Structure 1
Amino acid sequence: MGLHFRTATDVFVKTLPFVALRIGIGLLLGAFATVYFGSVGWLGYTLLESGSISELIALGGVVLAVAIFIAAWRMFSRYVLYAVKAAHIAVIAHVVDTGEVPSNQIRFGKDRVAERVVETTVLFGVDQLVKAIVKQLTNAVVSLGSLVAVVPTLRTFVRVVARALGLAANYVDEAIVAYMFTSDEQNPWKAAKDGVVLYGKNWKPVLGSTMLIVIGMYATAFVLLTALAPIASVLADLSPAFEVVGWVVVAGTVLTIYSGVLKPWVKTVVITTFLVESRDDTPDSETADWIAGKSESFRELAGKAESEEPVTADDAHAQAADPRTVS
């Protein structure tokens, strides 16, 4: 089973500008959320204290504020965060495929996303459909494992493996999107289909290594949280307020390292493993038929690829709204 840690880590280091960009965006979002909810809380508390509003109205205001934040977050994720994510994937794919690092990788990634599809939401739609296929294939693998889980101990082991596989599968769709950036195929449906077929031929090294990495990532996050916890304990001796601040700092630090460093590194390893393992393979009908028998979403993707149906923004929104694509 190929892990390609060294190659992937080298690629990760070469794309640190994107990693820094994503960390910066995350910190800004965190600061905005803190100010937003802090302002909402202060306003609600002030109005309650002055008797201007009732508790019921205050509760309604909080619910409305949360709903507005969720709606804005989804919109921002769809049109901004995913664009940054896709651009980063494009740069990783380019470095793995050619060994060259663009001089201005932020601009390069942005241009590559614009070249592949007219709107980023379209690529988002293709990505969501691929995510559904990977999830269905993973469920098929888990189902096979459950057939032999006839004893309690083995059944527990299969459940643990199933959970780990489910977490690992969340990263595989990004590898297939990376393949789309390296493919000369202009029809994104066809490129996505070919990528899924190649994944079907190489799912063992890709998903197996990803599962090991994901387990290691969660273990690392736990170690970080344990190592930083004494900070909150020390501040707790000062006052309860300082203890709360301490835990916020600890949680924020762990979340920043986890989301800003660990997850991008795992993504880079998965993409590198997939592109390297599938480099000498070609999509074949036998594997495609096997996947079609396991995944309804793949049959849908294959139909779009064969009809060479043009990708539209409506397709993207439809795929994003499809409950099968929710992971």
Structure 2
Amino acid sequence: MWDFNIGQALGLLGRTLPFVLLRAAVYFGITLAYILATGAGIGVGWGVGAFGDDEFRATAMAWGGIAGFGLTGAVMYWLREYILYIVKAGHVAVLVELIDGKPLPEGRGQIAHATAVVKGRFGQASLLFALDQLVKGVIRAVIGLVRGVLSILPIPYVRQLMGIVQAFLRVAVGFIDEVILAHAIRTRSTDPWGSAREALVLYGQNWKAMLRNAAWLTLFTYGLAFLIFLVMLAPAAALVYVMPGAWSAGGFVFALLFAWSVKAAFLEPFAVTCLMQVYFRITDGQEPDPEWDARLEQMSSHFRKLKERAGARFGTARDGEAA
């Protein structure tokens, strides 16, 4: 079974309600932006289509909707660094302090406090984003190692199912990069590269427990997201119906967007909180294993880049825990 405490995780999320609401505002705002931009594009296409026949109008509306959706996606891609910096890392920062039993400001003061903590650990958003990308690269290498282990086990049809297993593993580790960032915040390290290196080695030497819990959380979060998607199909289809020309695929896309926003706003922080519980518990008192450090260096170019930027030894430049 799993090693996390669901009740405690929900309690921690309740105590960080300002961040939960911030996440909801951000991700539901993104969904609304997609809907409005797509609808506006369809509307423009409908107007342009007045200069031609019905087939021309339908084509113009389709391209207008695609253009609106694509433009919004491009803007969101550009903003992803700042979403990570302000929303995700900030929420992780306050969760770390709550797990360690430290007091937090109430209300909106939590967000200002978390922003100061993240800025103190990582500096600019670009550094945190670069670090996060390297961490994800190392985690993908660990997935490759796990896939290799599974492929040689005497499990019936494992080779035929390897594509599904690989896809599941990729989803299952989607939350772990935030746990790695949590380690840097928790250790009060002023060397984020060295702290991430240490955290990844600790993750590697405990990969079985981490992946087992991540797998359970993947089933929970994506199962609930799928149910939300099914529930939202009808109202999303109704929304599309009132748009000019009633874009046929719109109901599916908008329901998918809403399910994604619920997952990102509520289900993902729950999963990250649970994984933080597991990671902190199983790594408490452990030292990074030099063999795992060497193994990660050998199989991941991202880990080698991380080591180049890190200090010469583990745990460099720690300030010690704040009082």
Paired position in structure 1 for 2:318: none
Residue type matched to 1:209 in 2? N
Alignment of 1:208-247 (within 5 A): 208-226=212-230
Distance in 2, Cα, partners of 1:12 & 1:48: 49
Distance in 2, Cα, partners of 1:159 & 1:3: 28
Alignment of 1:84-233 (within 5 A): 84-103=87-106, 104-148=109-153, 151=156, 153-156=157-160, 158-226=162-230
SS at match of 2:310: helix
Query: How far does the alpha carbon of each residue in 1:240-287 deviate from its partner, in whole angstroms, 9 at most, with x for none?
Result: 969989767755653443232112211111122112221221223232
Distance in 2, Cα, partners of 1:167 & 1:136: 14
- C-alpha distance 205-101 of structure 1, shift in aligned 2 (>3 A): farther
Distance in 2, Cα, partners of 1:204 & 1:260: 28
Paired position in structure 2 for 1:46: 47
Which of residues 268, 272, 277 is equivalent to 1:272?
277
Unaligned regions of 5+ residues in structure 1, if any? 309-327
Paired position in structure 1 for 2:14: 13
Task: Select between 4-13 and 165-174 the one with higher mean Cα deviation.
Answer: 4-13
Residue type matched to 2:48 in 1? L
Task: Select between 8-17 and 180-189 the one with higher mean Cα deviation.
Answer: 8-17
Task: Select between 184-193 and 4-13 the one with higher mean Cα deviation.
Answer: 4-13
Return the TM-score normalized by structure 1: 0.79
Q: Is the 8 A contact 1:116 1:188 kept in 2?
A: yes
SS at match of 1:36: helix
Distance in 2, Cα, partners of 1:212 & 1:19: 22
Distance in 1, Cα, partners of 2:312 & 2:144: 28
SS at match of 1:155: coil
Q: Kindly indicate which of the two structures has a greater share of residues assigned to helix.
A: 1
Which of residues 294, 297, 305 is equivalent to 1:289?
294
Q: Is the 8 A contact 1:9 1:269 kept in 2?
A: no
- Greater length-normalized contact order (CA 8 Å, ≥ 6 residues apart): 1
Query: How far does the alpha carbon of each residue in 1:272-308 deviate from its partner, in whole angstroms, 9 at most, with x for none?
Result: 2112221221223232122223322212211221469
Q: Is the 8 A contact 2:23 2:87 kept in 1?
A: yes
Distance in 2, Cα, partners of 1:212 & 1:244: 32
Distance in 1, Cα, partners of 2:85 & 2:257: 22
Task: Give the root-mean-square deviation of aligned CA atoms.
Answer: 3.7
Paired position in structure 2 for 1:76: 79
Residue type matched to 1:266 in 2? A
The alpha carbon displacement at 1:33 in A equals: 2.4
User: How many aligned residue pairs are there?
Assistant: 305
The alpha carbon displacement at 1:7 in A equals: 3.0
